[in-house]
Structure 1
């Protein structure tokens, strides 16, 4: 099946001089107020406000002869002078205006930002207005395949102002891939269908796609992943796979990024079954793999020189069944570390660990390497950080400033994250309890009620991958950052119905593709 993921709405540059040419049919203005617009526009706003005092206070449609299509649409951000206001106000205002814009019948609107506060923190206001608009107009893959691409209402988007449209377009294409993979229901985006989606998404790009799905190979190379997948191997459409994505930029390589994404296409909890309605939304447990795939799609569009990027997406369904793995099992990972299973609903760290061990070995000989895991891993991250990604870096990632680089890029591009420090208690928490095991995967309680519930899984990943041998004092330190997007991966924290946010594509793109 050919998926409808190639119908991107590429932005077109517009100036005041050519605003009234072509087929543009609305001007959408995003800002805290609108007093700096040209006089003809201000006159139209004043006339509208004389009969409706709410004009400019909420999304408003103003009849204006000088606007394309006679439509001037105001998308207010609200005040921007409070300590807690940031550039996301422009993203949110543009996103939230989409429904009203579509109701006017406009098909080819032009976006602009006005009265942007001075300072570097606000420099991406126009770009984020465009990205917010794209977030608002996005419809799920299933809807596009059922209704056709016209379900997304608009046929063109213009951007009035100075911003780097080609970069924005590349990143938005990545975000769209991330939303598709994360948000699509579990049968339509089963492991092998996710692999097929990736093949189509990267066709014709510089990214090499390799799919590992042979059972014997998976059991040998990814034993922890294969344990999670044990009850799904026998069901053809639910068989696991690992999708490897590789990009080598033009010229000598100066930096190497290695990323692993958690792609649990459905998480029943396994033998530790999710009950009480907590299984709904678990088709989005592949948001980490989605975010990594989206970032690589952005890489493919930007085509940065001197950069090598390698990613593995671990697509698995955590099934319940007579063959399902269970707590108390001891499974030896790729690295040779013996893992005692504490709870089968802590499966995400298992499917990440083997790929991380593999990429760690590759990173040892790479140029200026850094490693990342991205996952919808713990309810504790959502509880502790709310709608923000939680970054848990190791010592080298803190020392080299890589973790801070992602934090700064996330602030600049409205994909905010916060750092959590890895502590000795986290490593003590997962230590082996007997001579039969080296590491414990988890306790048997919910992460949200466990102290340091999103930090100790990073310690587990460090130990099981062998990254503990590459800390600050090692001969070859390897910067590693675990990114938990359980709180940031969907809008409003609604994992069943919320629109995928494509986190952390913007933070990674801002950090490494600028």
Structure 2
């Protein structure tokens, strides 16, 4: 089944018999609970010290279905505690409920600190339990949704939730998980496009798929080069998937987003070796996050907002027609790109899409541009499980980056700032009169100084955005988001659940009803 039905009641006493078959209580100390639930927890603690320290199932006549699940967050008053404590506790609690056989648990979030960083504790708990309950698309198609996604309904004891918002954003996150996590044959470029077409049927989002080889080679030459060896295999043909939404009323914000969808990253002629190909079907996580955000937009139908996304979908297959290092390819923006390493293909796939959107942004109201990608091992190494935000000067000065950073914290999808510097632009400068820019060095990004920052400089130059800096007549705010460290749970790219980052952060900044 899809996202569980979500409802809320204002008070625990409003929970009627038959409404739920388990009660999950999420909190730090559970000090606010009154009898008999407090007594039940205290009695259990007398016999089992794990109660209150880790998520546990208690048998209690005072809980629906006699299932009382205590899911502690741990302390919430330390410098490093944030709203993800509730996200994590909800994941543990809902898993116990599901394993115990519950299908319609109630959730009660208690002991929420009265500080702004925990304002969304209940909402983030909902997103956490949905993350835990998600099962892969391939598994659902094999077993059937209802056989493995057994939680039908969740009732929150709250009265404060914006149910419509939460369900819309979770639908976007669910789509993002499907698109990122599904294996490379089931989600080859054309099938990625088919999923998007089906996802936006009956919505206000217009979907256009560009897959004609001549058109791609003319309008998206860098992407066409990456997918050159795949054109002869129909199911692996590269394509550009364009998503367009225009809200009603006068437009006040225009978002232009590019997502990297490398459906399988072999490394191309610079072949990945030593087992490093495992998990490379998830190299489409950036595009998945972009499509997931647009899905949330489609569900919420915000006024005054325009969103245009272009997804570059390709497979850098190995073959006699594969592109190779040393080639010089002229981008859509007319920039001569020297290929430094074919395993740095994601920035090539995005550059021409970014160039197209740059042209549109120049005519738009209050535009900002974004690239989202599982781009570098350096981002994962330097930022761990956090998204790296690499903004230009305009994005820092107009408040876009600060707003996005704040939303990422408040909604449990945290990111960290990595400003673009002069060294990044120096690093990618052309080395001869034959080329204008170098796509990459030929060493691992994780071993390269500023390995996740300099790709933003490459994208800026190759897409023509360097002509729209602060010294131009039309400066354009641009942020590159590297999700290589945040795109899957636990950093396990072959088996971990996709997180659909940065859907929560983007939705929290641009769509949340404050």
2:150 aligns to what? 153
Task: Give the C-alpha shift of residue 503 in structure 1.
Answer: 0.6
Q: What SS is found at the alignment partner of 2:216?
A: helix
Match among 99, 117, 127 for residue 103 of structure 1: 99
Measured in 1, the distance between the counterparts of 2:181 and 2:397 equals 36
Measured in 1, the distance between the counterparts of 2:91 and 2:214 equals 46
Structure 2 residue runs without a partner (length 5+): none
Measured in 2, the distance between the counterparts of 1:96 and 1:312 equals 36
Measured in 2, the distance between the counterparts of 1:35 and 1:197 equals 47
Measured in 2, the distance between the counterparts of 1:374 and 1:228 equals 18
Match among 265, 273, 282 for residue 267 of structure 1: 265
The list of structure 1 runs, each at least 4 consecutive aligned residues, that deviate by more than 4 angstroms after superposition, is none
Aligned 1:19-418 pairs, distance under 5 A: 19-150=15-146, 151-161=148-158, 162-418=160-416
Task: Give the C-alpha shift of residue 14 in structure 1.
Answer: 2.2
**1:14 counterpart = 2:12:** no
Task: Give the C-alpha shift of residue 20 in structure 1.
Answer: 2.2
Q: Deviations over 1:462-487 (max 9, x none)?
A: 00111011111211110000000000
Aligned residue pairs, count:
509
Task: Give the C-alpha shift of residue 401 in structure 1.
Answer: 1.3
Q: What SS is found at the alignment partner of 1:366?
A: coil
Structure 1 residue runs without a partner (length 5+): none
The answer as to whether partners of 2:3 and 2:130 remain within 8 angstroms in 1 is: no
The answer as to whether partners of 1:14 and 1:110 remain within 8 angstroms in 2 is: no
The answer as to whether partners of 2:27 and 2:73 remain within 8 angstroms in 1 is: yes
TM-score (norm. length: structure 2) = 0.98
The answer as to whether partners of 1:261 and 1:352 remain within 8 angstroms in 2 is: yes
Task: Give the C-alpha shift of residue 63 in structure 1.
Answer: 2.1
Q: Deviations over 1:77-129 (max 9, x none)?
A: 11111110111000011112232111211100111210011111111111111
TM-score (norm. length: structure 1) = 0.98
1:510 aligns to what? 508
1:444 aligns to what? 442
Measured in 2, the distance between the counterparts of 1:301 and 1:23 equals 27
Measured in 2, the distance between the counterparts of 1:21 and 1:213 equals 55
Range 466-475 or range 57-66, more displaced? 57-66
Q: What SS is found at the alignment partner of 1:353?
A: helix
